[in-house]
Structures are given as structure tokens and as C-alpha cells.
Structure 1
């Protein structure tokens, strides 16, 4: 096993650990450790809300989840010799839930998926699902099952939802400017158009005093993906993946967190993955001058691992860029994917699952989402593929009609507060 360079004690909050991580992006957050090219190491990770979501049958914790605290990131880790303009090479050697522990923290034998309410983050289908719902998933080896969504089980596709390098001061300023300009177009929108810097609840490693206060006022939130990688939520960042990140500051300053036991393409319910704490083993290297050499100036590229679940039979649903009210949109692929998801949800309800159970399932299970046609005006076509082997019953259409499952207790719901 590689050396653990960022250990976490499950009995302590993220901010009370021996080594303190961070939950904002800023070039001045000091690195925890400096590694050499070729080094392999293990990092412990806390789930993104640092234990705020409980293993129970209430969704009040999702409704009231403290968005200001996310994401609990392990790092940063500098790499010797990395300079702006280089590419940082990161190999994902292994990852999984918290080893040999059961308990109240996500990752201790269980994880969760949440539909976030409209006034606290929202979801990909926020207008159709404005309230908070939750599903708890139990882990048995690589398999996930849920008392809140009976009739399904599937192999997890474990991956980090968030990994990336630190921004330069100029890049950070551009983030804050362009996102601030977007917010200004509709400052009271729910969900908000973007999340501006928020000093409240900022965790900034070892910074303190005036440096802490200044950096907290400038540091970018970790919610969206950006040029440095970040919260990309790519389910194919599995064991065996190699990722190439742009380097914007000396050392690169790599951070990682937001581990997922499984996820469908899009993480559509906002925390649509099965969220967990756990460990990740990484190896780092540097390609000198790699950004210019390979034309990688503002994006990460990656080679996916080969450990994804091997499902071979699928049922797929399509959608086009026409709204639920019948309004035609021009090549709106995002809308087309929403419509494909809604068609899959409607279909699954004919077997007995509720709409919320179906939505949660599509966020957590390893579904595949694809933009299938983006050139034929005025309609884009998007598709979502469901692996049929995850269901206890046959979900293919037949002359005998749909079979029925017992939906059990259902997914816990918490209405938005008045």
C-alpha cells in the first residue's frame, strides 16, 4: 500500500484533522506535501458535505445541506519541478470506500444520493422535482442496493467526482469576473446562476489571520468544473485512468475529493452520484511544456480505466429539443437530454417505482448519456441508456405488459421550508 500522505480520522470533523485540506480554489493555499515525479501515494477523502447527510429515512438533511461548506478537498499536493505550462499526469491506481469501517459517515459501508431542492442547489430537472429527496445505498463488495429503491442492484463504478490543479491569480480573477457578470443578469434566480466567493465556512488549509481573510474573500467555490478540471463528475475516472491537468502555478497544487461509489452520466440529481468518503491511490508525473505541445490550454484530458461494470444489454430512451409545453428550441442538446431522462422516468413508473425513485436511480446507477444528433435543425437528439441487468424484473416492453415491483417505503421526501 502506498504511504498515506493525507490521513483522516473518522471521529473528527474535516477542519479538526491533523492535516487541514480546503474547500475553495486559490493559488495561495499552501501545499500539504511536495511530491517527486513518479511518486505513488494514498489520500483519504471525506464525502463532500463532511458528514452532514445521515443514514436515516428523512430528507431534511438534504433540504438543509450546508452548500457553503463544499467540497471537502484533500490537498493541495505540489509536484517537484512542475511549472506553469506543464501538464500534470495523474494515474488513479485504486480507490474505494473507507476501509474496514462501519459507522455514521458516508463511506462507512454506505452512501447516499440526493435530489436537491430548488432553493438549495436544485437539480437537472429542478422544475419537475423542486423538493428534497434522498436514497441510502448499502455496499456489499462492489454492489449497491437501497431500501429506498427496491428491485435494483448494480456494480459500482467508483471514481473521484472532483480533482484538479490550483488556478493562477489571473485565471482566478477571470473566473470571478465572468461568473459575477452572469449572476448580475438575474441576481435573485433560484437556483442561482453561479456561486460567488463566500468567506463564510471557507477552509483554506494552514492559512490564518489577514491572509486567511483576504484569500477567503477572493477564493472560488468548488461547485463547477473549470479550466483546471475541478468538479467534472466524470464517471469514467475509474481505477486505471490517467488524467492530464494543465499546470497554472508552481508545483501544480493538485487536490482531490468528492468520491463516488457509482454515478450515471450527468449526475443529474445534483448529488446524483452515490456519495462516499474513502481513499484514493495516485501516482504523479510531469510533461514539461505539455500545454503548448499538445494544445491543452484550458481543459483536462484523460484516458479512462478499464474497470467499469461490463453491462451488455441496454434499454435506451431518446429526447429532442422541444419543451414540455411544446415550444420548439434550436438544437438545444441540454433540453434533449432532459427530455430523454424524463421519458425514462415515465417508463419506469409503469413498473411501480415512483417518479422520485426513478430519478434517484438514474443519477446513481451507471447509465450512459449521449448526444446522438446535433446537426439536424431544429432538433438535437439525446439518448440515455439503462443497463437492464441491474433490475430484478424484465423491463423490456412486451405484449403481456409491464411487471410490477413493490416500491417499498419509497424515497424520503422533505418539502421546501415555507
Structure 2
């Protein structure tokens, strides 16, 4: 199986199906990415909050790629198997005026530099003196494919084709499904996070450079994937993992409604439930999650269904 590589310099700042691909791969092949952090290298381990006013905001949230996947056509689905996510030995979290769910209340610049050398132990200290540490679960905040529409679309918000989905569950062992709108899919990845809570409420996670490895496979039999879907592996509180559908849009209630609608469709297609049965199951077993609520104009809401309720699913 061929393994391809994307370098740090092979990046772009918009989702645009006219951007030439940096690689062409066959369906089922593996690609590794060497990504800078979301500041595009402007923030370093020695940085302080005094640096933040001089940042070039138009250079933030770059993504590496795009990758042209042979045989991928509009209407297909791109399966992205997340094989590895390894952060750097440092990261940062910032507060920027105008960003975050409480942007009107937090108007001063702030920056925290993290020591991630304890990554192999599974945590980083938030405040060692106070005994506060944060579990590390690295993932890429940006994973997506190009829109079928002409033009350049900002990498800041999430879209139905992925993008800045900022979803902490899409980590090593997870499979992401993206609806393809452009020939070749034109997949890109970036915005490494060492850890993040659902919602990313202040607008940043533990931002970090990232080495990522994914396998890209074209699926011809999932026409119901209209927004990002993903399947997680097991965890302590979710032993067999979950399947998640999402809703994406500028109205948070409509995004939540779409997430449920897409789960109802999934349950009908994959588990043979009629719409009434599926709606009931969503209510008694599904969890609505605010995955991304700060990168306007779009919200990303997920409906997660535990695989453990299906006795015939491994």
C-alpha cells in the first residue's frame, strides 16, 4: 500500500475546487501530513500575549493539501480513517476579541503556552500547583473536501463538506465520512488540537503542530451522507463507540434538527427502521452534542448513537 506525504508548505487558506492538488492518490491509499499549528507558525513556544496584536489574522487556520483521490466523483462519499495524530511538544490556547461564545465578555487578549512533553502519559498540566490536568486526545480540527460551488470559501467555519468541524471525537481510530461535491474530492487537513472540549467555547483548543496519518477511501454506496458523519472507537464511557450524524448551518436549532433528520435516515438505511421507530430511538438513546459553536456563520451539531444498542454490530 502506497504511503504519500504532504509537507508543511503545501497548504492553502480557502476551500476552492480550482486549487491544484498537491498529490493524486488511489482510493484506499494512506497520506501523512506535517502541519503547522492554526497560527501558521506565527505563535511559538516563547510567545506571550504581547505578540497577539501583531498576528496576521488572514493567515490563520490554513489547511494542508488538497489531495485528489482517483475515482472520487460528486455524489460519492470519502471515508477518512484516522490512523494517527501526534502533537508537538508544545501548544497554545488564546483568547481573541471577537471570537468565542462569550466574546462580548472577554475582550482582552490572553495566551497560554502548554507543555505537551507528558503526551505519552496522556495528559498535560493546566496548573500543576492547583492539581489541574487535562487529558490529551489529539485530532485535526480541519478535515474536509472542496465544495462543488465555484469560488473560495473561508477555512474558519464548518460546512456540509467538512472544514473546521472542530470535533474532539474525530481522533485516532475514528472514521470520518464526507460528502463529495467535486471530482477527486480534494481533501485537506489541518488545525491540530492536542485537546478540546465539545464546542471549543473560547474559540481555541490546545492548538499545536501535528503529524497526522489518514487513509482515504471512496465509497459509492452511502448517498445518505449529506454532512460529516463519523464512527468512533470504544472508550470507558462508550465501550463500543458511537455513530454520529451532523447538522451544519447558521441557525443552531435548524442544525440540531438536521442532525436528527440525518440520524433517522441513517437508521433507516443501515438498520431497517421506519421513520417513526428511528425518531423514537433518537430520543431514548441518542445524544445531541454541540461540537462546534464559535466559528461563524455556521454551527455544527452532532447526534451520537451508541453502537452498543445494536446487538448485531461489532
TM-score of the pair, normalised by structure 1: 0.54
Alignment of 1:372-411 (within 5 A): none
CA distance in 1, matches of 2:103, 2:31: 39
Instruction: Render the CA deviation track for 1:159-190: whole Å, top value 9, x for unaligned.
Output: 1101000111xx35xxxxxxxxxxxxxxxxxx
CA distance in 2, matches of 1:95, 1:282: 9
Does residue 117 of structure 2 align to residue 131 of structure 1?
Answer: no
Determine if contact 2:78/2:177 at 8 Å carries over to the other structure: yes
Counterpart pick for 1:234 among 150, 167, 170: 167
- 1:277–1:235 CA distance, 2 compared to 1 (3 A): same
CA distance in 2, matches of 1:2, 1:278: 21
Does residue 20 of structure 2 align to residue 43 of structure 1?
Answer: no
Determine if contact 1:4/1:44 at 8 Å carries over to the other structure: no
Counterpart pick for 1:303 among 219, 231, 237: 231
CA distance in 1, matches of 2:136, 2:19: 33
SS at match of 2:45: coil
- 1:128–1:45 CA distance, 2 compared to 1 (3 A): same
Aligned-residue offset at 1:59: 1.0
Counterpart pick for 1:85 among 75, 80, 86: 75
- 1:148–1:31 CA distance, 2 compared to 1 (3 A): farther
CA distance in 2, matches of 1:83, 1:226: 18
Aligned-residue offset at 1:149: 8.4
Aligned to 2:49: 59
Please identify which structure carries the higher strand content.
2
CA distance in 2, matches of 1:132, 1:53: 14
CA distance in 2, matches of 1:242, 1:149: 38
CA distance in 1, matches of 2:5, 2:199: 31
Alignment of 1:247-286 (within 5 A): 247-271=180-204, 273-286=205-218
CA distance in 2, matches of 1:51, 1:149: 30
Aligned to 2:293: none
Query: Which 5+ residue runs of structure 2 have no aligned equivalent?
Result: 239-251, 254-286, 291-314
CA distance in 2, matches of 1:37, 1:264: 32
Counterpart pick for 1:221 among 130, 150, 154: 154
CA distance in 1, matches of 2:136, 2:54: 27
Counterpart pick for 1:70 among 60, 82, 96: 60
Instruction: Render the CA deviation track for 1:49-88: whole Å, top value 9, x for unaligned.
Output: 1111232462123344322012221110111100001001
Alignment of 1:184-199 (within 5 A): none
CA distance in 2, matches of 1:32, 1:370: 35
TM-score of the pair, normalised by structure 2: 0.70
Determine if contact 1:136/1:148 at 8 Å carries over to the other structure: no
Determine if contact 1:240/1:305 at 8 Å carries over to the other structure: yes
Alignment of 1:17-32 (within 5 A): 17=9, 20-32=10-22
CA distance in 2, matches of 1:2, 1:131: 48
Aligned to 1:154: 134
Determine if contact 2:126/2:134 at 8 Å carries over to the other structure: no
CA distance in 2, matches of 1:57, 1:259: 18
SS at match of 1:85: coil
Determine if contact 2:62/2:155 at 8 Å carries over to the other structure: no
Stretches (4+) displaced over 3 A: 1-4, 146-150, 368-371
SS at match of 2:58: helix
Could you say which structure has the larger radius of gyration?
Answer: 1
Aligned-residue offset at 1:302: 0.7
Equivalent pairs counted in the alignment come to: 242
- 1:149–1:124 CA distance, 2 compared to 1 (3 A): farther
Query: Which 5+ residue runs of structure 1 have no aligned equivalent?
Result: 9-16, 98-106, 173-217, 313-331, 334-367, 372-418
Aligned-residue offset at 1:311: 7.6
